[in-house]
Amino acid sequence: MYKENDTDSKAGYIPTFYRHYLHPKYWGMWVAAGALAGLSYLPVKLRDPMLAGVGRIAGRFAKGGRRRALINLYYCFPDMPKAERERITDEMFASAPHAFVMLAELCLRNPQRVISRTQVHGQDIIDALQAEGRNIIFMVPHGWAIDLPAMLFAAQGNKVAGMFHHQKNPVADYLWNKARVHFGGRLHSREAGIKPFIASVRNGFSGYYLPDQDHGEEHSEFVPFFSTYKATLPAIGRLMKVCKAAIVPLFPVYDHKNHQFHIHVRPPMDDIDGQDDPYIARRMNEEVEALVRPNIEQYTWILKLLKTRKDGEEEPYKIYKHKELP
């Protein structure tokens, strides 16, 4: 398969086009990519309201994703009224299409068009760390626009290295990863292990780490997450040591009503240096909460964030598979 041929431990993952990607079974993906490309040429004042409407409608049909989002919101915010959980879920889906169209816009048009609509809140934090010569690993919770800050940084000369999972559809995998490395930077597939990512950060690339994936009970810590708890992998503490890097929380937010892209940056997590795993895991979740709470609809609540539970406790997605939420 493509991933065995394209992974290079030194240069990172190199997306490569293969002729069989033109097989009719992939035509739907190519049509979707063409649609995103076409939408990227529309004025934002016209396309953003349209995309938000499409996202809300799609969210009503995405039954599995919608159910997971509502379950996650119920566990994380048990006192939140049901109507508010529904509203947030609608707005979450409304925010989704913009990220994909902006991805196409960055690749196909002058990146200055997006840069001019971007505000980095905390740029001084990044500048100070770079002036000190410190390596940086951005800790980025899952938002729909999660790839955009890395691409924008790379477009302005700050190369970023990240790890990723391959998509099941090879054409989607090729197009998405081709876009991610459009301005340079590196991608390291998880099949290649962690060492290539560490080497890239040591060589001056800014790392990109996603802290909120559920990796199972082994090596994870059960620590508070909003009003519930989560199995959190405290790997960021070890990466901090071996990469000699500052851990900088970051979260992307696209305001489709005002057509502005915001990148929120928080101070480095220097306090986790030398701490034990439970402390590090808890601090990771605290930073996720601090970034997500002000922009709750921008978080990808559709993920199985709470899949791994303590012994004797059934996962929420099974409990409410056929049972209505309160």
- For residue 139, being part of any structural domain is answered with yes
CA distance linking residue 215 with residue 303, whole number of Å: 12
Q: What's the pLDDT score for residue 148?
A: 97
Q: Does residue 62 belong to any structural domain of this protein?
A: yes
Structural domain tally of the chain? Answer: 1
pLDDT band at 43 (very low <50, low <70, confident <90, very high): very high
Residue 93: which residues within 8 A CB-CB, separation 6 or more? Answer: 55, 56, 58, 59, 62, 66
Mean pLDDT for the stretch of residues 105-130: 97
Q: What percent of the chain has pLDDT over 70?
A: 97
Q: Residue 1: its pLDDT value, please?
A: 41
Q: Do the Cβ atoms of 281 and 234 come closer than 8 Å?
A: yes
The whole-angstrom distance between residue 1's C-alpha and the CA centroid of its chain comes to 25
Which among 122, 101, 106 has a CA at the least distance from the CA of 46? 101
Is residue 2 in some structural domain?
no
Query: Does any domain span residue 13?
Result: no
Rounded (10°) angle between helices 82-108 and 63-76: 120
The model's pTM is 0.94
Report if residue 11 sits inside a domain: no
Range of the domain at 183: 19-319
Determine the pLDDT at residue 7.
55
What is the three-state SS of 267-292? Answer: CCCHHHCCCCHHHHHHHHHHHHHHHH
User: What is the reported pLDDT for 323?
Assistant: 87
Residue 171 forms part of a structural domain: yes
Give the pLDDT score at 170. Answer: 95
- Is 10 inside any structural domain? no
Lowest mean pLDDT among 2-6, 106-110, 271-275, 316-320: 2-6
Question: Is 234 inside a domain boundary?
Answer: yes
- pLDDT, residue 175, reads 96
Q: How confident is the model at residue 8 (pLDDT cuts 50, 70, 90)?
A: low
DSSP assignment, residue 322? S
Residues 257-300: pLDDT tens digits?
Answer: 999 999 999 999 999 999 999 999 999 999 999 999 999 999 99
What's the pLDDT band for 11 if we cut at 50, 70, 90? Answer: confident
